[in-house]
């Protein structure tokens, strides 16, 4: 479909410029997805969808607008684009809106990112159902008599997209993905019904864990919540489990975006080159990771993707600044957002680390919470397990941690050796010391 998408994008650009656009950028996407879920050993949800869509950004007389449609027939599309150009000319002028300088398109890597699984077309309806059945069966078996409900899921998809501009950029990307997971609810003491889940994601089927492992993990993570209760407020070390680090880091990363910086809503705006976290914290944005869920050769502006060290040993090195906000800020652009985020792993396992920490909490989930990108203040509920001398001793629930990101990330004391591989954010478990954990 690559040729078809590129030809339609080129035609759309010609149509827009003929209608009076000074410049334009066109994106075209084609997606196929399948989703199956089981509950009580029978299908609960089966969905299959194939979609195509066009997005066009129009620059005309110093004005800008973005429009989209799913009707790709040329006659209706020509009418749509012509009207879109006319409507754009009625908007307020924005002198900062333009296509990027073409020099930022240069230097694109020719590496094969291997984001497409050649075996994807061999996945059959029967094979998909077998995956979900195996996930559910393992969850039910592991959960035993305490199981109230299990919802097992399988998703997969294939997508293609092109990005073409009127000033010379042309790019194509293609990817596949697989998802398997389960949500489990168990009967606890009284009317408590803890719910746990486990999901794995990969671009390739061979990169996925076995369905039986997924189901057993979902059940075990729920079993670990049984008997959860508040403990007294204390200042303790905490270990944030690898697959939950992204929930905590999201509020911190919000300070890196050009949009927030320009709108005076970033607590990191004036911190470039300064120490903002512990020396144990290095954050790498790696778009050229082979097989990565966030891998790409170019970004939404068409900028050639390249590896960036965002934070190095606690020192802020880079921001996410797209072309538009670079012009508003008067800064050099970088890229508009993250690709694959990597925290280099440490040398020790979580179990080894726990032995040296004495008493602390292994955080295995976050509940609600909020983070203020302007001040860096945050508050979030947690659940997990209390440990002492390396042994897990008591499930904890309905606890809370709060603080300021600049202070909190300076408490990072160690990075474990277990990067979470089923995500575009491949982060290991992180150890923070002297954290006030609020309870009863």
pLDDT tens per residue, range 94-115 = 999 999 999 999 999 999 999 9
pLDDT tens per residue, range 252-282 = 999 999 999 999 999 999 999 999 999 999 9
Q: Rounded distance, CA 184 to CA 138, Å?
A: 11
How confident is residue 12, by pLDDT bands cut at 50, 70 and 90? very high
How, if at all, do strands 359-371 and 234-240 pair? parallel
pLDDT of residue 97: 97
Average pLDDT over every residue of 199-222: 97
Three-class DSSP labels, 386-419:
EEECCEEEEEEEEEEEEEEHHHHHHHEEEECCCC
Mean of the per-residue pLDDT values for the chain?
A: 96
pLDDT of residue 369: 87
Comparing CA positions, the residue from 420, 282, 257 lying closest to residue 344 is: 282
pLDDT at 440 over 80: no
Q: Enumerate residues 6+ apart whose C-beta is below 8 A from 356.
A: none
- Three-state DSSP state, 6: helix
pLDDT tens per residue, range 336-381 = 999 999 999 999 999 999 999 989 999 999 998 899 999 999 999 9
Q: Rounded distance, CA 60 to CA 75, Å?
A: 22
Comparing CA positions, the residue from 17, 8, 165 lying closest to residue 99 is: 165
pLDDT tens per residue, range 122-173 = 999 999 999 999 999 999 999 999 999 999 999 999 999 999 999 999 999 9
- 211-223 vs 125-143: helix crossing angle, rounded to 10: 30
pLDDT tens per residue, range 276-332 = 999 999 999 999 999 999 999 999 999 999 999 999 999 999 999 999 999 999 999
How, if at all, do strands 391-404 and 147-165 pair? unpaired
């Amino acid at each position: 479909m690559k040729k078809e998408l590129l030809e339609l994008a080129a035609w759309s650009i010609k149509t827009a410029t003929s209608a009076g656009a000074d410049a334009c950028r066109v994106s075209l996407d084609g997606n196929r997805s399948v989703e199956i879920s089981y509950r009580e050993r029978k299908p609960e949800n089966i969905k299959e969808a194939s979609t195509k869509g066009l997005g066009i950004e129009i620059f005309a007389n110093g004005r800008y607008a973005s429009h989209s449609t799913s009707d790709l027939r040329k006659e209706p599309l020509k009418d749509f684009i012509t009207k879109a150009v006319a409507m754009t000319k009625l908007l307020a002028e924005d002198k900062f809106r333009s296509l990027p300088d073409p020099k930022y398109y240069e230097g694109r890597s020719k590496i094969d990112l291997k984001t497409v699984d050649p075996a994807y077309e061999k996945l059959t309806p029967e094979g998909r159902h077998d995956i979900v059945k195996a996930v559910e069966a393992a969850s039910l078996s592991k959960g035993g008599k305490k199981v109230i409900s299990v919802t097992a899921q399988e998703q997969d998809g294939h997508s293609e997209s092109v990005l073409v501009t009127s000033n010379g950029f042309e790019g194509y990307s293609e990817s596949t993905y697989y998802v398997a997971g389960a949500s489990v609810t168990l009967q606890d003491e009284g009317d408590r019904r803890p719910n746990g889940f486990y999901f794995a994601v990969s671009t390739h089927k061979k990169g996925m864990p076995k369905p039986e492992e997924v189901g057993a993990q979902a059940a075990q993570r729920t079993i670990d919540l049984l008997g959860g209760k508040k403990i007294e407020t204390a200042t303790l070390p905490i270990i944030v489990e690898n697959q939950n680090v992204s929930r905590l880091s999201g509020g911190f990363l919000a300070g890196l975006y050009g949009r927030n910086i320009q709108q005076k809503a970033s607590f990191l705006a004036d911190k470039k080159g300064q120490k903002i976290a512990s020396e144990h914290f290095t954050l790498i944005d790696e778009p050229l990771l082979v097989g990565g869920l966030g891998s790409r050769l170019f970004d939404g502006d068409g900028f050639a993707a390249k590896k960036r060290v965002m934070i190095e040993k606690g020192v802020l090195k880079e921001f996410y600044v797209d072309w538009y906000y670079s012009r508003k800020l008067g800064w050099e652009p970088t890229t508009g957002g993250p690709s694959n985020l990597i925290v280099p792993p440490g040398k020790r396992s979580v179990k080894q680390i726990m032995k040296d920490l004495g008493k602390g909490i292994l955080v295995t989930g976050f509940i609600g919470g909020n983070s203020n990108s302007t001040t860096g203040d945050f508050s979030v509920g947690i659940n997990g397990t209390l440990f002492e001398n390396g042994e897990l001793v008591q499930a904890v629930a309905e606890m809370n941690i709060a603080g300021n990101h600049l202070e909190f990330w300076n408490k990072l004391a160690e990075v474990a050796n277990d990067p979470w591989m089923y995500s575009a954010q491949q982060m290991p478990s992180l150890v923070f010391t002297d954290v006030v954990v609020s309870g009863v």
